[in-house]
Amino acid sequence: MSIKLCLGTACSISPGLDCSKYEEQYQELYKPLLSNLYNLVELPFTLFMSGPFLEWIEHKHPEFFMLIEEMIARTQLEVLGGGYYTPYFPMISPSDRVGQTELLTTSIRKQFGKRPRGAWLPASAWDPSLISSFCTCGIEYLLMDKVMLETSGFPGVNGLSPVTLEDSGKTVIALPLDNRYKTLERYSPKSFLDALQSSDIDRDEITVIVFFDQTSIPGLFTATEGSSSWIERFLSSISRSNIPIELTSPGKLLKTRIPNHKAYISTGMSPYDYEEIPAPEDIRILARTSVKQHLINSNNIMRLYSKMMYVTILVNQVRGDKARKKTAREEVWRSQYCETFRLLNGIESPESRVLRTLAYKNLLMAEKSTRIRGVFSPSIVCTDFDMDSIKEYLCQLDKVNMYVHTYGGKIFELDVFSVYRNFCDTSIPSSGLFIDHFFSMNALKRLSRGILPDEPDVFSCSIYQEQSIDRNKCEIQLKTNGTFGSLQQPLSLRKQYLFRNEGIQVQYILKNDSPLKLTGVFVTELDFSLINGKKNKQPEIVVYSEDIRKESGVIQAGFDDVSWIQLLDPCSNCTMTIEANENPSVSVFPIILESKTLGSKEKTQKIDGVRVFLYWKVDLSSNYETEKTVFLKLSC
């Protein structure tokens, strides 16, 4: 038995970080990697470099490219292609797949004079429709988790040799990627070598491709005092091995291959890309789990994905201005970075919030590029925006977007183009503006102390029916019905939205449809995303309550007889002012994000936004109604 072993890694930088972080990453990871590879001439290596990484290196460390060019010239290094902004390919449209792949191919060919033949798939995220897109781009092979190959059920396909994949008459070769060794430094050179030699002794030749995580680079390539590095000890062990081990690269590997087995690999992703290494019995299931599972697990990520799909449609509809269309399309591509659509352990973190805020910024810049001055006109579009089989109302004005969902009758997206922010995007799963509630009088004491009631309410989970829509005036009128309390008293709520560039006016008419008196608390909830500004400046709240002006940070508090409340977002310098025709009582709750510092058990807390509850005590006789109007003013 002989073993063909390919080693490599993927180099990328996360968007939204400070330049000093990129420099630190370069000095700790990429510089030691390349300098050691340059000296280890006998070690063939494979490298994937994302587009943003290439851009940053070109501006800050062009000497990096000189070393790569020399190693390519001596056939030591192979550079893979793929998506320019490292997207999960199954999540994006076919045109974006081709566009991102061609953009990275062009960049690599420009820098190194050679076109890549292979592609890197983040998390081995796969869909058979990718074959056609890769063939269009001239990609001949790709790396895929070996578990996805060996669980396909086809004869001879065991994850130890290349496999030919076909779709609609087009083919691409999948090379088995062994993700068990992503953290290769955890193994000693001897234990890794023993694991390779025990792979499958009944075969004449096996293929093992290991792409270790970039965080493993220091542990593999840094030598300690008085001893050699991990990789040097491994190369020394190979020379003493009883079984022939040939170090090679994917491109060289395919030049000497006999005809491959054929297989059909359905939608899936690497089971080792999940937060914890799964138990063996789960591997087959996880390998057949679509990467879109990340969307279903988070309402916030699903909303971002819906926005990306919608803006992609808008960009594709641009005609007659190629430069405008190209600019808009590249902004969409920037929003497709794979880690944006993934939550570690399904929990929001400050890092995930930064990525999502940046993605919304890119998408709003793309959307603005599609609006031609003099042609665009304000409108209300009725469409199934978030792909839940229910139509939403998209009010699109010159300066803002307001998207209304009939589930709960709330605004679930508030885009301000002057600062490219969605102020409804918070870390809580079902955030929005003007979320309606009706509680019993028992909730009044809790709300007055700044505590959320734990009882079920009436309207927040109701489906609102359209009563009328005026596209010229940008008005929508909705209505819903519900029952309240142990007596199941029927009541109804009419809700009229009036949209303007300066803000939103919402009129409520609550009616008691029961023969009995209705007593309770009517509440409307507004959730805002607030982000720290420069020098970690905190969001601020100003409340004019009981004829006294009160200023504070975002803390849990309750106020009575509120004339107005003002929220300041220090990141964008936007101010949101809330008023009502009848002074409400107000409860304020901060939205907190918790995170752990690497290597520490202590949690740090960060303000991510604020939940504002406006509430009024309601006493209605049978067939009587009450009217409340709330104004939200935006100043950016």
User: What is the pTM for the complete model shown?
Assistant: 0.93
The mean pLDDT value for 111-134 works out to 95
Report the CATH number that the domain containing residue 510 is assigned in CATH.
2.70.98.10
77-81, 146-150, 220-224, range with the lowest pLDDT: 220-224
- Please indicate, yes or no, whether residues 277 and 316 belong to a single structural domain of this protein: no
Q: Would strands 400-405 and 421-422 be described as parallel, antiparallel, or unpaired?
A: unpaired
- Please indicate, yes or no, whether residues 305 and 246 belong to a single structural domain of this protein: no
Q: Residue 542 contacts by C-beta under 8 Å, 6 or more apart in sequence?
A: 549, 550, 551, 565, 566, 568
Q: How confident is the model at residue 474 (pLDDT cuts 50, 70, 90)?
A: very high
- Please indicate, yes or no, whether residues 411 and 543 belong to a single structural domain of this protein: yes
Angle between helices 94-112 and 51-60 (to 10 degrees): 30
Q: How confident is the model at residue 257 (pLDDT cuts 50, 70, 90)?
A: low
- Please indicate, yes or no, whether residues 492 and 527 belong to a single structural domain of this protein: yes
Distance (Å, whole) CA 90 – CA 482: 41
- Please indicate, yes or no, whether residues 19 and 130 belong to a single structural domain of this protein: yes
DSSP three-state, residue 580: strand
Q: Which of 245, 271, 287 is the last residue of a domain?
A: 287
Structural domain boundaries, residue 522: 380-635
Angle between helices 350-370 and 299-316 (to 10 degrees): 20
Q: What digits encode the pLDDT tens for the residues 127-151? A: 999 999 999 999 999 999 999 998 8
Determine the pLDDT at residue 448. Answer: 78
Between 595 and 234, residue with greater pLDDT: 234
Question: Residue 99: pLDDT above 60?
Answer: yes
Q: What percent of the chain has pLDDT over 70?
A: 96
CB 510 within 8 A of CB 618: yes
CB 608 within 8 A of CB 427: yes
Report the CATH number that the domain containing residue 124 is assigned in CATH.
3.20.110.20
What are the b/e assignments for 549-577, b being 16+ CB within 10 Å? Answer: eeeeebeebbbeebebbbbbbbbbebebe
Sheet harboring 562-569: ordered strands across? 465-470, 475-484, 489-500, 503-512, 625-635, 574-580, 562-569, 540-545, 548-553
Q: How confident is the model at residue 2 (pLDDT cuts 50, 70, 90)?
A: confident
Q: Residue 17 contacts by C-beta under 8 Å, 6 or more apart in sequence?
A: none
Distance (Å, whole) CA 90 – CA 268: 9
Question: Residue 266: pLDDT above 60?
Answer: yes
Q: What percent of the chain has pLDDT over 90?
A: 71
271-280, 406-415, 475-484, range with the lowest pLDDT: 271-280
Determine the pLDDT at residue 298. Answer: 87
CB 118 within 8 A of CB 140: yes
| CA 75 to each of CA 235, 250, 341, 483: distance values in angstroms, whole numbers, following the listed order | 18, 12, 36, 74
Q: Which of 341, 376, 411 is the last residue of a domain?
A: 376
Distance (Å, whole) CA 189 – CA 292: 37
Q: What digits encode the pLDDT tens for the residues 416-453? A: 999 999 999 999 988 999 999 999 998 888 887 767 78
Q: How confident is the model at residue 599 (pLDDT cuts 50, 70, 90)?
A: low
- Please indicate, yes or no, whether residues 277 and 356 belong to a single structural domain of this protein: no
Q: What digits encode the pLDDT tens for the residues 30-69? A: 999 999 999 999 999 999 999 999 999 999 999 999 999 9
- Please indicate, yes or no, whether residues 234 and 341 belong to a single structural domain of this protein: no
CB 182 within 8 A of CB 211: yes
CB 498 within 8 A of CB 439: no
Question: Residue 511: pLDDT above 80?
Answer: yes
DSSP three-state, residue 490: strand
Question: Residue 533: pLDDT above 90?
Answer: no
Bridge partners of 614, per DSSP, are 524, 586
Q: Where are the alpha helices (DSSP H) in 113-229?
A: 130-136, 146-150, 189-197, 217-221
Between 603 and 628, residue with greater pLDDT: 628
| Tokens of residue 251, six digits | 């491109």
When the pLDDT of each residue in the chain is averaged and rounded to a whole number, the result is 91
- Please indicate, yes or no, whether residues 54 and 203 belong to a single structural domain of this protein: yes
How many CA within 13 A on the CB side of residue 333? 24
| Tokens of residue 544, six digits | 């004019």
CB 604 within 8 A of CB 592: no
Nearest to 217 by CA among 71, 68, 25: 25
Determine the pLDDT at residue 496. Answer: 97
Angle between helices 94-112 and 322-334 (to 10 degrees): 90
End-to-end CA gap in the chain: 69
Determine the pLDDT at residue 280. Answer: 56
Question: Residue 271: pLDDT above 80?
Answer: yes
Largest pairwise CA distance in the chain:
92
- Please indicate, yes or no, whether residues 441 and 349 belong to a single structural domain of this protein: no
If residue 7 lies in a helix (H) or strand (E), which one and from where to where? strand 2-11
Between 182 and 596, residue with greater pLDDT: 182
CB 146 within 8 A of CB 176: yes
Q: Residue 231 contacts by C-beta under 8 Å, 6 or more apart in sequence?
A: 36, 40, 43, 220, 221
| Tokens of residue 356, six digits | 């999502």
Q: Which of 243, 259, 287 is the last residue of a domain?
A: 287
Phi, psi of 86, rounded to the nearest 5 degrees? 45, 65
- Please indicate, yes or no, whether residues 180 and 207 belong to a single structural domain of this protein: yes
- Please indicate, yes or no, whether residues 170 and 252 belong to a single structural domain of this protein: yes
Q: Residue 326 contacts by C-beta under 8 Å, 6 or more apart in sequence?
A: none
Determine the pLDDT at residue 486. Answer: 87
- Please indicate, yes or no, whether residues 279 and 360 belong to a single structural domain of this protein: no
| Tokens of residue 19, six digits | 């330049």
- One-character DSSP codes across 112-145: HS----EEE-GGG-B-TTHHHHHHHTT--EEEEE
The mean pLDDT value for 256-265 works out to 82
Compute and round to an integer the Cα radius of gyration of the chain.
Answer: 29
| Tokens of residue 134, six digits | 């890769």
The mean pLDDT value for 291-302 works out to 86
- One-character DSSP codes across 270-295: -GGGSSSPPPHHHHHHHHTS-TTHHH
Determine the pLDDT at residue 601. Answer: 64
| Tokens of residue 626, six digits | 């009450």
Q: Where are the alpha helices (DSSP H) in 140-248?
A: 146-150, 189-197, 217-221, 230-239
The mean pLDDT value for 536-557 works out to 91
Q: How confident is the model at residue 260 (pLDDT cuts 50, 70, 90)?
A: confident
Task: Pick left, alpha or beta for residue 410 (phi over 0 → left; psi -120 to 50 → alpha; otherwise beta).
Answer: beta
Distance (Å, whole) CA 301 – CA 365: 19
Q: What digits encode the pLDDT tens for the residues 340-397? A: 998 876 678 888 899 999 999 999 999 999 998 878 899 999 999 999 999 999 999 9
Q: How confident is the model at residue 537 (pLDDT cuts 50, 70, 90)?
A: confident
Q: How confident is the model at residue 199 (pLDDT cuts 50, 70, 90)?
A: low
Q: Residue 3 contacts by C-beta under 8 Å, 6 or more apart in sequence?
A: 196, 197, 199, 205, 206, 208, 243, 244, 245, 246
Query: How many separate domains does the chain show?
Result: 3
